[in-house]
C-alpha cells in the first residue's frame, strides 16, 4: 500500500505551515516568554475541548465544559507564574506560595464541579460528568502545562527542541515503518492496525533522533546536555511514553466511536491527535531533568 496518498500530502503540507509557527512559539524569549504560555493555553484548552466533545454522553453524562476550560486557563496562568515569576518580577504577585496556588486552584476546581453537579444537574450521569470534567483538566491541562515549566529551566529551549524532534521522529518512524514493513500486528484492541515493525521503527528513530539532536546542540551551541548512554535511555523512554500517550487517546476515541479528536489541522485531525504523545511525555521528561538537578 502506498503511503504517498492524499492524506500524507495534507499531513506534509500542514506540517510545513504549522512547524515554523510552533517552533517560534516554543523557542522565543520575546515578550517575557508569553508565547510559550499562549502555546500551552491553545494546545491544552483545544485538546481539552476535543476530549470533552468525545466523552459527551448526552443525558447519560457530559463534562462541565465552561468550568473545565476556565480552570484550565487559570492553571496555565499559575504554572507560568511559577516558572517565570522570579525571572520577570511576577513573584510579588504570589510571594512564596506559587505551588500552593496551583494546589488551591485544583481543590477549588474540584469543589466547583461537585457543586455544579449537585445544584444544576440531575442525579443520573453525575458520577460520569464529574469524573470526565476533573480527569480532563488534570490529565490534559496539567500535563500540557509542563511545556511552560520545561521552557523555564536553564537551556529549556534545547530540551523542548529535543523532545519535540524525538516525538515527531517516533511518530514518523512508526508511520512509515508500519506502512512499508508492517506485517505482524501487535494485537492491541485499542489500536488493532499497529504493527511490531512500526513500533520498533519508531523506537529506532527516537533513539537516533535523540542522539543526533543532542550532538547537534553540543557541536553548534556548546551545550553538553546528555551523555550517550542518557541519550539512548531517554530515546527509549520517550518512545514508550509517546506511544502510551497515543494509545490513551486512541482508547478515548474508540470509546467515543470516532476516528479523529477534531479537524482543526488538515491531514492530522484535532489538536489532541497531534500532541497526544507530547502531552504524555512532557511531565516525565521535565521531572527527569529536575531530579537530575537542572535549575
Question: Is position 15 within any domain?
Answer: no
CB distance 180 to 3 below 8 Å: yes
Q: How many domains does the chain have?
A: 2
Residue 90 lies in a domain: yes
Tell me, yes or no, whether 11 lies in a domain: no
Please report the pLDDT score of residue 229 as a whole number: 96
Both 90 and 165 in one domain: the answer is: no
In 192-222, which positions are buried (b, 16+ CB within 10 angstroms) versus exposed (e)?
A: eebbbbbbbbbbbbbbbbbbebbeebeeeee
Of the listed ranges 82-86, 144-148, 200-204, 237-241, the one predicted with least confidence? 82-86
The grid coordinates listed for 217 are 546542540
Whether 257 and 181 map to the same domain: the answer is yes
The Cα 151–Cα 147 span in angstroms is 6
Last residue of a domain, one of 127, 152, 177: 152
- The answer on pLDDT for 119 being more than 60 is yes
| Same domain assignment for residues 286 and 174 | yes
Residues 92 and 198 placed together within one structural domain of the fold: no
Give the pTM.
0.90
Q: DSSP letter string over 215-254?
A: HHHHHHH------HHHHHHHHHHHHHHHHHHHHHHHHHHH
Q: List for the chain the helix, strand, coil content (%; round to 5).
A: 80, 0, 20
Does residue 253 contact residue 261 with C-beta atoms inside 8 Å?
A: yes
Rounded to whole angstroms, how far apart are CA atoms 199 and 212?
20
Among the three residues 152, 182, 213, which one is the final residue of a domain in this structure?
152
Residues 174 and 272 in one domain: yes
- In this prediction, residue 175 carries a pLDDT of 80
Residues 161 and 98 in one domain: no
> What is the predicted pLDDT for the residue at 182?
64
- If asked whether residues 146 and 249 sit together in one domain, one would say no
pLDDT beyond 80 at 264: no
Say yes or no: 162 and 295 in one domain: yes
Looking at the structure, do residues 129 and 74 belong to the same domain, yes or no?
yes
Phi, psi of 6 (to 5 degrees): -60, -40
In a domain, 20, yes or no: no
Q: Is residue 67 part of a domain?
A: yes
Query: What confidence tens digit (pLDDT) does each residue in 168-187 have?
Result: 999 989 888 877 776 778 77
By residue range, what is the domain housing residue 74? 31-152
Asked whether residue 96 falls in the same domain as residue 172, the answer is no
Same domain as 224, residue 267: yes
pLDDT of residue 74: 96
Q: Please state the three-class secondary structure of 165-192 as a single string.
A: HHHHHHHHHHHHHHHHHCCCECCCCCCC
Mean pLDDT along residues 132-150: 96
Amino acid at each position: 500500500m502506498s503511503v504517498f496518498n492524499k492524506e500524507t500530502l495534507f499531513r506534509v503540507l500542514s506540517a510545513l505551515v504549522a512547524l515554523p509557527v510552533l517552533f517560534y512559539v516554543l523557542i522565543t524569549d520575546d515578550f517575557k516568554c508569553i508565547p510559550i504560555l499562549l502555546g500551552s493555553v491553545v494546545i491544552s484548552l483545544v485538546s481539552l475541548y476535543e476530549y470533552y466533545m468525545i466523552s459527551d454522553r448526552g443525558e447519560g453524562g457530559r463534562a462541565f465544559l465552561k468550568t473545565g476550560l476556565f480552570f484550565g486557563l487559570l492553571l496555565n496562568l499559575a504554572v507560568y507564574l511559577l516558572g517565570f515569576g522570579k525571572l520577570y518580577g511576577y513573584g510579588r504577585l504570589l510571594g512564596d506560595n506559587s505551588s500552593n496556588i496551583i494546589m488551591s486552584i485544583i481543590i477549588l476546581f474540584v469543589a466547583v464541579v461537585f457543586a455544579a453537579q449537585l445544584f444544576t444537574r440531575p442525579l443520573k450521569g453525575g458520577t460520569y460528568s464529574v469524573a470526565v470534567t476533573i480527569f480532563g483538566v488534570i490529565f490534559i491541562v496539567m500535563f500540557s502545562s509542563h511545556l511552560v515549566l520545561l521552557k523555564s529551566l536553564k537551556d529549556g529551549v534545547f530540551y523542548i527542541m529535543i523532545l519535540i524532534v524525538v516525538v515527531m521522529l517516533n511518530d514518523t518512524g512508526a508511520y512509515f515503518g508500519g506502512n512499508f514493513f508492517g506485517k505482524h500486528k501487535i494485537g492491541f484492541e485499542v489500536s488493532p492496525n499497529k504493527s511490531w515493525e512500526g513500533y520498533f521503527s519508531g523506537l529506532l528513530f527516537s533513539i537516533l533522533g535523540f542522539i543526533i539532536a543532542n550532538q547537534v546542540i553540543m557541536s553548534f551551541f556548546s551545550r553538553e546536555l546528555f551523555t550517550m548512554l542518557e541519550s539512548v535511555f531517554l530515546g527509549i523512554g520517550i518512545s514508550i511514553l509517546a506511544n502510551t500517550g497515543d494509545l490513551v487517546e486512541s482508547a478515548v476515541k474508540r470509546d467515543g466511536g470516532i476516528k479523529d479528536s477534531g479537524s482543526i489541522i488538515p491531514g492530522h485531525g484535532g489538536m489532541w491527535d497531534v500532541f497526544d504523545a507530547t502531552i504524555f511525555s512532557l511531565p516525565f521528561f521535565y521531572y527527569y531533568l529536575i531530579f537530575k538537578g537542572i535549575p
